[in-house]
């Protein structure tokens, strides 16, 4: 049968051949078109008495309700269903595509997943009902995706939050597609994906905008995927190769484009790359543009310091997680923690990629008045459990040594560093000749936000407790997860796959060869290397692994009678050559080609900066570990690490304990 429909078509088959269902329009009716509605389609689908059904899809999605009904109708049908993604399977159309026993995607097709959205009119109660309904729809969609690809809910939700567009290979790698077919010659799409609210649609399927004065090469850089960016920069790489050697412009180009896009000056990216500027130099250029007023400072993605007044001491992370659970399971939640979450939501920019969790403050401002003490007035009242940031500082080896945590950052940030100094010249009175001129020269160090996430587990019974001890355990557990991650990145981050670059890879860090078990003299050489750069000021000290600390506790300064051990004091509070020393397992004990070298770092730790953007968001998953009675807690944050001066640090090479 072939119903007289403009927007979809079912073709019944000859005996033994598959029936065909063509979905080449948006799902559901709207003011402008009938679309593919479930009411008629599902009724006719149920009448098909066939062994096989081929579903062909080229749709931007649409109504979630209609889409789920079509998906369920295909799932229920006794026929073997094969879904072919001919052009686009976006939004709820991506759900319909997964109804097939087998999913085949054309090599030049696209697959997109994102969060459901909708409109509501009315008072705050109606708005909350809509939000709850959208969460329920999202959970239903996540269930379909998880059934097909086998990924954890948190990973799927993160991809939906980000409005993830995939080509055939990416969709197959994600687990959505079983087979990739050859390219299809697709007709121009009649639907406007930009008008549908998609924020990250590839330029190839977006209806052309009015002409602009932006250079064509810059447009290619800012709208194309990373692979295209690398193609565009090949010419710069080839032209500069004789002069720059092994410098990799392709990796730098990706970082530069990201910095420019997040700073509101995407049209400058091509010029910066063509000029062979480094990301650090681009950071300084962007700051100059801010200061000159040529571009506006980007909207802050910083977690606001929330003023709770006298309520600050009553804020509970345990109750915040419990509220996050209520919201995740579709129930109403209230209380101080929910009020603070809503306050943070108001202060976050529209382009902040929320994950659907609850926002928690890392810092809490309390402006209650005190009546005693030397500085009577607005003072911070003691908070019973301690701030999240303060707990982090106590747990991280780098911050214990004096590294700085910078919160509330806005966009990429560049720190100037002096690379050359003026020269002081002595001269006689009325010497009759001019002194030689000299200028101070500066460089810059740039930090850009990089997303990290961590996952742990808590029991339902634990989060409903309200004792200070339990609250402390929960705060410490959350802080520990992030402290370990940030600390490790600050020390050994690779600078690849969106990781920060740690001290062991930072440019300019002094390298001192140990040649085996460190001697007192070699450790002194590490401090001397810094002293030669006039950097032996601030919070100086040694940081190493406990294995190395234990070895140095048993190694004499000199062979003479009465000599002290190199390391005096404890693993946590030691002294080496008069400097503070601390041991942590965050410092690697598996460096070098033989994985038997142990890291040792010495430096002015005040020059190490750990920057943070965005609110700390907690996503509570009550399903993944439900059989164990546990809640899976996933936390998201944006951070970066930078050494203001590499010369402020020394690293040991070839250090061993035997």
0.75 exceeded by pTM:
no
What is the pLDDT, as a whole number, of residue 301?
A: 39
Structural domain contains residue 522 = no
Residues 258 and 192 reside in one and the same domain: no
Both 221 and 268 in a single domain? yes
Which two tokens mark 40? Answer: 């008629």
| Predicted pLDDT of residue 657 | 93
C-alpha closest to that of 585 among 568, 606, 599, 605: 599
**45: helix, coil or strand?**
helix
Q: Are residues 174 and 39 in the same domain?
A: yes
Q: Which domain holds residue 221?
A: 211-292
Name every residue whose Cβ is closer than 8 Å to that of residue 251 and which is 6 or more positions away in sequence.
Answer: none
Q: Is residue 221 part of a domain?
A: yes
pLDDT surpasses 50 at 216: no
Of all residues in the chain, the percent with pLDDT exceeding 90 is 22
Task: Choose one of 203, 221, 240: the last residue of a domain.
Answer: 203
Confidence class of residue 204 from pLDDT cuts 50, 70 and 90? low
Look at residue 480 and give its three-state secondary structure. Answer: helix
The residue among 203, 233, 265 that closes a domain is 203
In this structure, the answer to whether residues 150 and 258 fall within a common structural domain is no
126-130, 144-148, 296-300, 561-565: least confidently modelled range: 296-300
**In this predicted structure, which of 159-168, 169-178, 182-191, 405-414 has the lowest mean pLDDT?**
182-191
Give the pLDDT confidence of 328-343 residue by residue, as tens digits: 777 778 888 888 888 7
Q: What angle do CA 500, 505, 509 make, to 5 degrees?
A: 120
* Pair (163, 33) in one structural domain: yes
> Of these residues, 114, 341, 482, 492, which one is catalytic?
114
Q: Which two tokens stand for residue 490?
A: 């600050």
**Average per-residue pLDDT for the chain:** 75
**What is the average pLDDT across 348-370?**
58
111 assigned to some structural domain: yes
Q: What is the 3-state secondary structure (H, E, C) of 221-247?
A: HHHCCHHHHHHHHHHHHHHHHHHHCCC
118 shares a domain with 13: yes
Q: What is the dihedral of CA 282, 286, 288, 292, to 10 degrees?
A: 150
Q: Is residue 449 assigned to a domain?
A: no
Sequence-ordered list of residues with C-beta below 8 angstroms from that of 387, at least 6 positions apart, any chain = 362, 363, 364
pLDDT-based confidence at residue 236 (cuts at 50, 70, 90): very low
Please, is 648 exposed, middle or buried when counting C-beta atoms within 10 Å of its C-beta (0-12, 13-18, 19+)? buried
Buried b (16+ CB within 10 A) or exposed e, 156-167: bbbbbbbbbbbb
CATH number for 86: 3.90.226.10
Q: Has residue 626 been placed in a domain?
A: no
pLDDT in tens, 468-491: 677 777 777 777 777 778 888 999
Task: Spot the catalytic one: 56, 59, 63, 91.
Answer: 91
The last residue of a domain, from among 260, 292, 324:
292
**Predicted pLDDT at 541:** 95
pLDDT in tens, 500-536: 889 998 888 999 999 999 999 999 999 999 998 887 7
Which phi and psi (to 5°) does residue 70 adopt?
-65, -45
Please tell me whether residues 75 and 100 are part of one structural domain: yes
pLDDT at 187: 43
Q: Are residues 51 and 158 in the same domain?
A: yes
144 and 248 share one domain: no
Residues 112 and 85 in one domain: yes
d(CA 180, CA 169): 8
Distance CA 492, CA 625 (A): 32
Domain count, the chain: 2
* Residue 90 and residue 167 in one domain: yes
CA dist 648 and 629 (Å) reads 49
In this structure, is residue 251 part of a structural domain? Answer: yes
635 is catalytic: no
User: Is pLDDT of 421 > 60?
Assistant: no
What pLDDT, on the 0 to 100 scale, is given for residue 205?
60
Q: Is 419 in a helix, a strand, or coil? A: strand
If asked whether residues 251 and 116 sit together in one domain, one would say no
- Are 111 and 90 within 8 A, CB to CB? yes
Q: pLDDT: is 382 or 436 the higher one?
A: 436
The confidence score (pLDDT) of residue 440 equals 44
Intra-chain end-to-end CA distance of the chain, in Å: 82
Query: Any catalytic annotation for residue 114?
Result: yes
* Residue 595 clears pLDDT 80, i.e. is over it: yes
């Amino acid at each position: 049968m072939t119903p007289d429909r403009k927007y979809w078509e079912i073709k019944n088959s000859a005996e033994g051949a598959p029936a065909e269902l063509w979905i080449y329009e948006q799902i559901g009716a709207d003011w402008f078109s009938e679309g593919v509605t479930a009411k008629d389609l599902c009724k006719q689908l149920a009448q098909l008495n066939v062994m096989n059904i081929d579903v062909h899809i080229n749709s931007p999605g649409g109504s979630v309700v209609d889409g789920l009904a079509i998906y369920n109708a295909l799932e229920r049908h006794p026929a073997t269903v094969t879904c072919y993604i001919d052009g686009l399977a976006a939004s709820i159309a991506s759900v319909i595509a997964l109804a097939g026993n087998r999913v085949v995607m054309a090599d030049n097709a696209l697959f997109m997943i994102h969060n459901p959205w909708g409109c509501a009119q009315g008072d705050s109660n109606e708005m909350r009902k809509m939000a709850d309904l959208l969460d329920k729809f999202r959970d239903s969609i996540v269930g379909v995706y998880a059934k097909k690809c086998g990924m954890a809910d948190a990973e799927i939700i993160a991809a939906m939050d980000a409005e993830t567009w995939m080509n055939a290979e990416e969709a197959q790698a994600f687990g959505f597609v079983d087979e990739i077919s050859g390219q299809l010659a697709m007709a121009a799409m009649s639907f406007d994906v930009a008008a549908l609210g998609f924020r990250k649609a590839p330029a190839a399927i977006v209806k052309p905008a009015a002409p602009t004065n932006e250079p064509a090469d810059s447009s290619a850089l800012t709208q194309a995927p990373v692979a295209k960016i690398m193609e565009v920069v090949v010419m710069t790489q080839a032209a500069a190769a004789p002069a720059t050697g092994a410098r990799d412009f392709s990796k730098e180009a990706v970082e530069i484009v990201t910095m420019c896009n997040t700073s509101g000056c995407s049209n400058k990216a091509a010029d910066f790359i063509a000029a062979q500027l480094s990301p650090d130099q681009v950071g300084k250029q962007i700051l100059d543009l801010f200061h000159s007023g040529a571009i506006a400072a980007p909207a802050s993605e910083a977690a606001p310091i929330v003023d709770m007044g006298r309520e600050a001491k009553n804020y509970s992370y345990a109750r915040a997680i419990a509220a996050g659970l209520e919201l995740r399971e579709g129930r109403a939640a209230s209380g101080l923690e929910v009020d603070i979450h809503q306050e943070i939501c108001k202060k976050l920019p529209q382009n902040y990629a929320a994950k659907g969790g609850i926002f928690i403050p890392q810092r809490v401002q309390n402006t209650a008045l005190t009546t005693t003490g030397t500085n009577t007035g607005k003072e911070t009242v003691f908070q019973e459990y301690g701030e999240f940031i303060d707990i982090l500082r106590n747990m991280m080896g780098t911050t214990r040594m004096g590294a700085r945590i910078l919160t509330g950052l806005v966009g990429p940030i560049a720190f100037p560093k002096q690379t050359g100094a003026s020269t002081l010249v002595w001269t006689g009175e009325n010497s009759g000749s001019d002194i030689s001129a000299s200028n101070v020269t500066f460089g810059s160090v740039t930090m850009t936000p990089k997303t990290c996430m961590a996952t742990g587990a808590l029991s339902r019974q634990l989060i409903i407790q309200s004792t200070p001890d339990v609250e402390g355990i929960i705060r410490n557990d959350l802080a520990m997860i992030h402290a370990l991650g940030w600390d490790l990145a600050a020390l050994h981050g690779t600078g690849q796959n969106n990781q920060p670059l740690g001290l062991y890879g930072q440019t300019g860090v002094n390298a001192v060869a140990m040649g085996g078990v460190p001697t007192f003299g070699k450790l002194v050489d590490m401090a001397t290397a810094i002293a030669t750069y006039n950097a032996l000021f601030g919070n100086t000290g040694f940081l190493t692994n406990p294995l190395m600390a234990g070895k140095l506790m048993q190694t004499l300064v000199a062979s003479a009678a009465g000599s002290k051990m190199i390391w005096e004091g404890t693993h946590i509070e030691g002294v080496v050559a008069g400097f503070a020393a601390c041991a942590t397992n965050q410092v690697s004990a598996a460096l070098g080609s033989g994985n038997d070298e142990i890291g040792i770092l010495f430096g002015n730790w005040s020059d190490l900066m750990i920057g943070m953007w965005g609110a700390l968001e907690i996503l509570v998953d009550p399903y993944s570990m439900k059989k164990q009675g546990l809640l899976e807690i996933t936390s998201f944050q944006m951070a970066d690490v930078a050494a203001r001066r590499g010369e402020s640090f020394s690293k040991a090479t070839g250090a061993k304990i035997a």
